[in-house]
Amino acid sequence: MSEITDRIEVSRETPAYPARHDVRDGHLVVGGERVPVVVKRIPRDFRQPDGRTRAERSLRIARHLLAHGLDTPEPLGIEVTPEESVLVVRKVERAVEVRAFFLRRGDPSLGTLPLRSSFDEVLVALARFARRMHDSGVFFRDFSDGNVLVTDGEEGPRLWIVDLDRARIRRPPLATFTRLRDLSRPGLTRADDRRRLLEAYWAPGPVPAGAAALHAALRFRLLAWNRLKAVLRPWRR
């Protein structure tokens, strides 16, 4: 959708989410109505030729997820220029990141959240969402706490995934190793919670032999890589 940014009123004070890219709240003006949106601007480089920019990839993944009944913020348009690609999605109102549930699991003093859902309900919902996502052929590659939003649904927690530009669509069924790469990313600090995540993911069947050990190894590798990135970050900017 060309020139969509001309119809957006963007807040320049506070980014919608902390991110390396420019991600901000705003309103898309449609027929006099101001629709709440999130605007993500991604600088282009040689790895993003026309048709393969991150905004265009996000749009393709979002349409695939929605076609398979999986929730992600509704894409309202993209705009591609030689300098950047811009993705505009409808903002999910009254949502919290799944990390808020994980943090309170380890520190109840943080207080309650403005949602009815419990940690246990969210954990099971996360596992089931991941299973449906993988069965549809999507390897998210960034299934982290800040990229999963939670709202109250009619029958329990409703999950949404955001920041789709790193995701890939592969021909199902996905390999167990690929599935576990995604499942190793949620920041569950307790071993029993990680075990429950795997059990809920593979329910009603058993967890495949060796999956728990591989999941633990992938989790260890991820944490080590995150520590290294923290050291390298000043030089990567």
Residue 236 confidence class, pLDDT cut points 50, 70, 90? low
Between 32 and 80, the higher pLDDT residue? 80
Task: Report pTM.
Answer: 0.90
Q: Where are the beta strands (DSSP E) in the chain?
A: 8-15, 22-30, 33-43, 75-80, 84-90, 96-97, 138-139, 148-153, 156-161, 168-169
Report pLDDT for 18: 46
Phi, psi (rounded to 5 degrees) for 171: -70, 120
Return d(Cα 183, Cα 189) in angstroms, integer: 13
The 10s digit of each residue's pLDDT in 215-224 is 999 999 999 9
Nearest to 130 by CA among 36, 208, 203: 203
Residue 17 has pLDDT above 50, yes or no: no
CATH code for the domain defined by 4-90: 3.30.200.20
The 10s digit of each residue's pLDDT in 81-119 is 999 999 999 999 999 999 999 999 989 899 999 999 999
The residue-averaged pLDDT of 181-194 equals 97
The residue-averaged pLDDT of 66-71 equals 98
For a pLDDT cut of 90, what percent of the chain falls above it? 76
All CATH 3.30.200.20 domain ranges in the chain, comma separated: 4-90
The per-residue pLDDT of the chain, averaged, comes to 90
Could you tell me which CATH class the domain 96-232 is placed in? alpha beta
All CATH 3.90.1200 domain ranges in the chain, comma separated: 96-232
Report pLDDT for 207: 98
173, β-bridge pairs: none
Report pLDDT for 5: 67
Report pLDDT for 237: 47
